[in-house]
Amino acid sequence: MPKTNFINTSRTIFSITIRQSIRSKKTFFMLIITFLPVVLAISYRIIGRDMEPNKPFSRLIMIGPENALSMMMMFYLLFLGLLVSLFYGASLIADEVDNKTIIYLFTRPIKKISILAGKFAAYLVQSLLIIIPPILLCLLIIIVNNSMIIDYGILIRSFVGQVGVIVLALVVYGTIFNLLGVWIKRPILFGLLFAFGWEKMLLIVPGSIKKICIAHYLLSAFPRHALLPEQNMQMGFRRGIIHNSSLLTSIIVISIITIIFFIASIMVINRKEYKFE
Amino acid sequence: MNLIAEAKELSKWYGQVIGVNKITIDINPGVTGLLGPNGAGKSTFLKLMVGLLKPSSGSIQVLGMPVWNNPDFSCRIGYCPEQDAFYRNMTGVQFVTNLALLSGYSRYEAREKAMKALETVRLVDNKDRKVGAYSKGMRQRIKLAQSLLHDPELLFLDEPLNGMDPISRRNTIRLVKELEEKGKSIIVSSHILHEIESMTNKILLISNGRIRAEGDVHEIRELIDEHPHNVHIICNKPRLMAAILVEYEDVASIRINAEDNSLVAETLKPDDFYSRLPEIVIENDIEISNLYSPDDNLQAVFKYLVG
């Protein structure tokens, strides 16, 4: 029998995983959720079209298009990205175990690391496919023919940076939720506690304790000059909730966390015994 | 003669529940039947042998190799699981081809191997149908196909005939015999003696996680025959089937369940009963969607053996 190799095995696992999840109910549900900000963007443009100071919603339109887009990106970063990474990352191995199809993978002459690598690559591709199109659509809706935009160059630059941070979030949260899925029986429950408990609570605690949550580093790397003008920054500093780690520090910390959690997943899947009763 | 499997004081617990209990056994090449009632520990023992489970204590070596996390071992075995688990969005040929790719074959070779395996289990005509739309018997056969595709020297078949129609059963039994003639070793589990008997004379009797007896099937058969054998059939014409079956002397009783188009026949001669089924089905154009035997009579024998 021929020898298996890492690249080919991972590629096959990748295609099996994509094929299984692309037409799933979960993907349909996620697409609906991730397109919600698009509705917001459309509403923003419709309401803003005939804005007058004394009309309802006119306060809302006081937010310029740069800030509106940044807020949408923030929503993708702190809520929708988390949700996508939780539901896809945690189920990479857990779904195979629940459906007992992992039996077919574990009885093939392949290393378990190649299963994880293929599955993680599939996770990244499908989560990007779910997140990026609505983000681009938001951008288009906000910027096309919009006379309120002061500087297109700044807006696009910060948008690209924001998308980069969202991708980083998908990677780092993906490895964490993947570890949960490999390790414990109810990964979604614990993932929810982590994502909307730990991450959200620590984020608003003043002082340096927030540095033990990942969202702090993501927000530090998040280009937000359009979102927080000078006076808001000063107010934020006084409250102690500004995320001020440098971009380099943030990227290094996020990379280290990603590597540690991925290695931990490999160690767990190599040692853990899954029962299929 | 090289042993194909060697277990020493092998135990497996699931928390407080015993899966297998201090099994010490050497298994020789050829076809070996693992016979025991449901919950006896057959599947656990097989999973320990294929490396899906880690022993709680004791040791197991198969083909002279450690089995846990050992890809070199996995490429020498084929495993047909009991679980009805599939990638349901895939067609039959995609399912088997993907698993062939994971066995290290190139795309072209994988497709070829998959087609050959599907041909062996007679699923070529249905290769492009979604596995999720297969009947139970077809799903059993596709599981068998994936275990055969890389031509392993040792096959583990966990209840392979469960849910198969009579013709598929006959073909699968024939396949097991052909593989044995080609020098392959097979460990096959079942809770039905006559199924095992049709494939091999060598059996291991397992109950409550322990090997109770090993050796020739005929001694066990005599014990079994003292107890009537129930066969549960789900088909499109249960009343016609019942009317035909009741004519045979070995059929002691028949119960029809109108709710699910099923009938339960009690026979004193299971071999005769099963061998005449294909003919009845073909002659009367009856479609059997499921066929299985509850293990009541085997339980009775085990009660006798265990005391």
Residue B291's pLDDT is 85
Mind listing the pLDDT tens digit for each residue in B199-232? 998 989 998 899 988 887 777 766 666 667 788 8
Other CB atoms within 10 Å distance of the CB of residue B116? 16
Question: In angstroms, rounded to a whole number, what is the distance separating the alpha carbons of residues B29 and A205?
Answer: 67
Average pLDDT of every residue of chain B: 89
CB spacing of A12 vs B52 below 8 angstroms: no
Tell me which residue of B174, B227, B228 sits closest to B199, measured CA to CA. Answer: B174
**CA nearest to A273 within chain B:** B53
Tell me if B104 and A3 make a contact (CB, 8 A cut-off): yes
Taking contacts as CB-CB distances below 8 angstroms, the residues of chain B near A15 are 98
- Pairing status of strand B77-80 against strand B154-158: parallel
Place of tokens 């129609």: B165
CB-based contact A103 B71, cutoff 8 Å: no
Q: Does the distance separating the beta carbons of B150 and A19 come in below 8 Å?
A: no
Residue B75, min C-alpha distance to chain A (Å): 5
Q: Are A173 and A195 in contact (CB under 8 A)?
A: yes
Return the pLDDT at B191: 87
Question: What's the rounded mean pLDDT across residues B58-80?
Answer: 95
Query: Are the beta carbons of B154 and B77 closer than 8 angstroms?
Result: yes
Asked if the structure places residue A172 within a domain, the reply is yes
Q: What is the signed CA dihedral for B201, B207, B212, B218, rounded to 10 degrees? A: -30
Polymer length of chain A = 277
Name residues whose C-beta falls within 8 Å of residue B123's C-beta, 6 or more positions apart in sequence: B92, B138, B141, B142, B145
- CA B159 to the chain's CA centroid: 2
Domains, chain B, ordered by start: 5-222 (3.40.50.300), 227-306 (3.30.70.100)
Whole-angstrom Cα distance, residue A234 to residue A203? 18
In a domain? residue A277: no
Using the predicted structure, report yes or no on whether residue A228 has a pLDDT greater than 90.
Answer: no
In a domain, A1, yes or no: no
Mean pLDDT of A83-104: 94
**pLDDT score, position B228:** 76
Q: Which domain holds residue A196?
A: 6-271
Task: Classify residue A215: in a domain, yes or no.
Answer: yes
DSSP state of B91: B
What pLDDT sits at residue A50? 63
Nearest-angstrom CA–CA distance, B101 and B111: 9
Is B209 exposed, middle or buried (CB count within 10 Å of its CB: 0-12, 13-18, 19+)?
Answer: buried
Share of chain B above pLDDT 90, in %: 58
Chain B residue with the nearest C-alpha to that of A104: B99
Question: Mean pLDDT, to the nearest integer, of A208-237?
Answer: 71
Q: What is the distance in angstroms between the Cα of B111 and the nearest Cα belonging to chain A?
A: 13
Query: How far, in Å, CA of A131 to CA of A169, rounded?
Result: 12
Taking contacts as CB-CB distances below 8 angstroms, the residues of chain B near A106 are 51-52
pLDDT digits (tens, 9 = 90+) for B176-207: 999 999 999 999 999 888 888 889 989 899 98
ipTM: 0.84
β pairing state of B31-35 and B202-207: parallel
pLDDT at B25: 94
Cβ proximity of B33 and B298 under 8 Å: no
**Closest-CA distance of chain A to residue B256, Å:** 31
**How buried is B13 (Cβ within 10 angstroms: 0-12 exposed, 13-18 middle, 19+ buried)?**
middle
Q: Contact B74/A4, CB-based, under 8 Å?
A: no
Using left for φ > 0, alpha for ψ between -120 and 50, and beta otherwise, residue B285 falls in: left
pLDDT tens digits, one per residue of A54-90: 666 665 566 778 888 888 898 999 999 999 999 999 9
| SS3 per residue for A196-215 | HHHHHHHHCCCCHHHHHCHH
Residue A238, pLDDT score: 47
Indicate the number of domains in chain A: 1
Model confidence band, residue B252 (pLDDT cutoffs 50, 70, 90): confident
Maximum Cα–Cα distance across chain A: 78
Alpha carbon distance A35, A69 (integer Å): 14
Tokens standing for residue A135: 């983000």
**Residue pLDDT, tens place only, A121-137:** 999 999 999 999 999 99
Model confidence at A17, pLDDT cuts 50, 70, 90, reads very high
Test B77 with A106 for CB contact under 8 angstroms: no
A276 assigned to some structural domain: no
Question: Rounded distance, CA B227 to CA B220, Å?
Answer: 12
Q: What are phi and psi of B152, to 5 degrees?
A: -70, 155
pTM: 0.83
Across the interface, do B52 and A112 touch by the CB < 8 Å criterion? Answer: no
Average pLDDT over residues B86-95: 92
List chain A residues with CB under 8 Å of B159: none
Q: Of all residues in chain B, what percent are helix, strand and coil, respectively (each to 5)?
A: 40, 30, 30
Q: Are A24 and A124 in contact (CB under 8 A)?
A: no
What is the count of residue pairs from A and B with beta carbons less than 8 Å apart?
Answer: 89
Which pLDDT does position A257 carry in this prediction?
A: 96
What pLDDT is stored for residue B4 in this prediction?
93
